[in-house]
Amino acid sequence: MFRQRFALALLACLSVAGLARAQSVSLSEAPLKDAHFRIELDLDLTGEIKFQHEGKLTAMKQTAQARHEYVERALEAGPAGLVDRAARLYHSATATIHIDKDTSERKFPAEQLAIAQRVRDRVVSFAKEPFSREQLELTEHFDTLSLPGILPGKEVKVGETWKLTSAAVQALCDLDGLIDQDFTGTLDEVTGQTARFSVKGKASGITAGAAIKLAVQAKGEFDVGKKRIISLDWKQDDDREQGPVSPIMNAEARIKLKRTPLEAGDADKLNDLALLWAPLSGAPPKENTRLRYVDAQGRFELLHAREWHLIGRTERHVILRLMDRGDFVAQATISPWKKAEPGKHLSEDEFKEAMNNIPGWQADEVLDKGTCKDNDPHAGFWSCRLAVSGIWNGVKTVQYFYLVAGPEGDQTVFTFSMAPGQIQKLGTRDLDLLRGLSFPTK
């Protein structure tokens, strides 16, 4: 009798275990358009960066902590199952970055409203007024618009796996270009209305012109009733090579995400009236996506396209590099010049002589003797241009020199340096950068 009861109990346990393994749920998000979420993001990063200093490779420890809290409204969903456009109201966004002994802190103004839009496989964030580079970087956090791409979009049994699409991996890992990936998701268990899943995989690609290899291990929760991912714990190891605008970097990042579905009435500040300033469709407006750079000494301000990346600044220079889909095109060095008397500036001959005497520069051919003119005679602005080829620090280089002077005697020199083969790619983007310059007014 005991043996019979034991056998029946064992059979019952095996049957229950079999049912648990066979349990399946539909891992697919509900329609995304006009869905509202409260997002809480925490980032903890540790690693090191390496760069060339006096001919040697120098390593510095790097750590960073960031916290973001915002409400997100999906405005447009794309065919790949990702959100293509969303409105965000940042209640708070802060980051603290430590590199060696230096610490920098960044913070959004309270209740910052922004649009996040997918443009050519990248998310572009913009606001009514231009961001600074530091503010923009606060919006370049984990891509919550791509969360639905983690899911298989179909019914899955416990223990079953699926492959993530390349579009989802590229977005989730913040890559400009994806070379290969093997990301796999697994449904681990289902308890009540909560389905728990995991993701792991490796990928290689390009970010800001630098090759990168990464590995990810993540766990998340899916609300079966609401059909939404509600939490994610994402661990990512990065190994990044030297790039035109970034150093060698090895880093471990952990991102903890909480995503709470909301009713539309809980996010009134993201209603249609609040978004009247934002375009309903099409590419983000150029005036909204420009970045604002303010000289620390108040000598000038600059509105510029995001493709110009800040790589260095001193009291005498600001250095930007132009990147075009991962390709380094040109470098712009902005140098405030000694202020002249109101209505005065360097003469054409003085300007050309000064440019010919730049340390490390040996001119060999004048490509364009340049034009010097009053850009706006009524406002008193004056500019002069010179295009020259030569050798700069041992490398064949073409340089465009511009002097821009204001009515109060303010003077700034722009130097655009590039390989001869990149002249066509630069096009008129040098002139576009100059147009964003402004001097302080009385």
Residue located via tokens 């095109």: 329
DSSP codes joined into one string, 228-270: EEEEEEEEEEEEE--BTTB-EEEEEEEEEEEEEEE-GGGGGGG
Structure tokens at 238: 């990065």
Q: Which of 77-81, 137-141, 246-250, 416-420 has the lowest mean pLDDT?
A: 77-81
Residue in 113, 115, 126 with CA at minimum distance from that of residue 83: 115
284 in any annotated domain: no
Backbone angles phi, psi at 109, to 5 degrees: -65, 155
**Are residues 161 and 246 located together in one domain of the fold?**
yes
Q: Please give the pLDDT value at position 266.
A: 67
**Are residues 345 and 228 located together in one domain of the fold?**
no
Residue in 56, 95, 88 with CA at minimum distance from that of residue 73: 88
217-242 pLDDT, tens digit per residue, is 999 999 999 999 999 999 999 999 99
Q: Which of 26-35, 52-61, 216-225 has the lowest mean pLDDT?
A: 52-61
Confidence bin at 19 (pLDDT 50/70/90): very low
- What is the number of residues in the chain? 442
**Are residues 417 and 297 located together in one domain of the fold?**
yes
122-162 pLDDT, tens digit per residue, is 899 999 999 999 999 999 999 999 999 999 999 999 999 99
The fraction of the chain above a pLDDT of 90, given in percent, is 75
The fraction of the chain above a pLDDT of 70, given in percent, is 93
Confidence bin at 372 (pLDDT 50/70/90): confident
- With 80 as the cut, is the pLDDT of residue 55 above it? no
CATH of the domain at 393: 3.40.1000.10
Confidence bin at 313 (pLDDT 50/70/90): very high
Alpha helices for 307-347 (secondary structure H): none
**Are residues 71 and 182 located together in one domain of the fold?**
yes
Q: Which of 5-14, 25-34, 179-188, 339-348 has the lowest mean pLDDT?
A: 5-14
4 in any annotated domain: no
| CB neighbour class for 106 (10 Å; exposed up to 12, middle 13-18, buried from 19) | middle
**Domain range for 377:** 290-438
Confidence bin at 280 (pLDDT 50/70/90): confident
**Are residues 92 and 157 located together in one domain of the fold?**
yes
Q: Which residues contact 179 (CB under 8 A, 6 or more apart)?
A: 203, 204, 205, 206
Rounded Cα gap, residues 51 and 297, in angstroms: 28
Strands 381-392 and 318-324: unpaired
Structure tokens at 342: 């109101």
323-343 pLDDT, tens digit per residue, is 988 889 999 999 999 999 998
**Are residues 77 and 205 located together in one domain of the fold?**
yes
Confidence bin at 79 (pLDDT 50/70/90): confident
Q: DSSP class of residue 285?
A: P
| Mean pLDDT, residues 99-121 taken together | 91
Q: How many domains does the chain contain in total? A: 2
Q: Please give the pLDDT value at position 116.
A: 96
Mean per-residue pLDDT over the chain, rounded: 90
3 in any annotated domain: no
**Are residues 306 and 226 located together in one domain of the fold?**
no
- With 60 as the cut, is the pLDDT of residue 377 above it? no
